[in-house]
Structure 1
Amino acid sequence: METVNSQLLTKAINFHGQQLQKLWEGEFGENDLTRKNVKDLNYNVYSQRQKNLSFQDRGKRLKLQQFLIKKANFIYSLEPTKQKNNEKAITEDMYAVMPPFETYTSVDKQKRVAFFMENVKVGNLILGTIVSRQQSGMMLKVLCTTGNGNTCLYAADINVKVG
């Protein structure tokens, strides 16, 4: 086992009581705490806590203490933990989805449709709902479009005849 932070280990044993100490000694040996320079064990904190601990939670406390023993190399290590570098590329899902600008302003519907038709290109995906279906085609209520790259255009109240 690596070198451990003896002060942190002492605090943990004082907090969790003699049961943690016995589990530690069972796992790492009777004299391991002395070799790790753990001294001044005082179970007063545990004694104060014990008044509020329920008998039913005893199994949960035992599992927690077993976890502390199993992961002792990491939890009580003197060396700082190495954090993974999570600098991922900024993607669209990191931003809030805003409704179309037309939602907040009164823009003429014909201008909105014209703007949409100018900006939609062959190959763009159009997400929408089918409003009506006829033999000549269908009416589609456009919700948003997406093209090359991460751009996603949202449309407010635009119906398009597809056919």
Structure 2
Amino acid sequence: FFQSVVVRTAGFNTTNFAILSTPTLLIFLLLMFIGASPGGTGGGIKTTTFAAIFLSAIATIRGKKHVEVFKQTIPNDLLYKAFSIFLFSLSVVFLGTLILSFTEPNLPLLHLAFEEVSAFATVGSSTGITPNISIAGKYVLIASMFIGRVGVFTLALALSKKTISTNYKYLDGYVMIG
């Protein structure tokens, strides 16, 4: 239990991550990506963002039109924000891992992904390969730390153009999904 909390927020190492099995590292990757709860200093997409996405998937499977939890309905704009944060974050982590796989071809991909997610989620955990990463790879990790700390949604809003509010709405368009 202690280690599952540590990999989400603290960076406090009580375990040598380099000797952990692949399934354990993958579980820790997921926990780091989800991260801490909002309002704290921990990174990741946040537990509430993950919960909103998970509850939205459950509502979709059950055929419900609204996402409900604790006798309240989660507004669609919050769900859109949650999905946006998830997709932007996943894109940053994927791109960072992809670049690291090019700059560090001799290091295991799982360990590179672990370092990338740890940097993005500002966790501080490591499999011990950080000293062996090239300068270019370290810049990738620095960029991920910055993006993860500032927040992908905040960064996207800061870099986006301001849109002018319109008084009209297009007709609903239905696209085949799945």
Same fold (TM over 0.5): no
Q: TM tier, shorter chain? A: under 0.3
- Structure with greater strand share of residues: 1
Q: Compute the TM-score of the two structures, normalised by the length of structure 1.
A: 0.26
Q: Compute the TM-score of the two structures, normalised by the length of structure 2.
A: 0.24
Q: Larger relative contact order (C-alpha < 8 A, sep ≥ 6)?
A: 2
- Structure with greater helix share of residues: 2
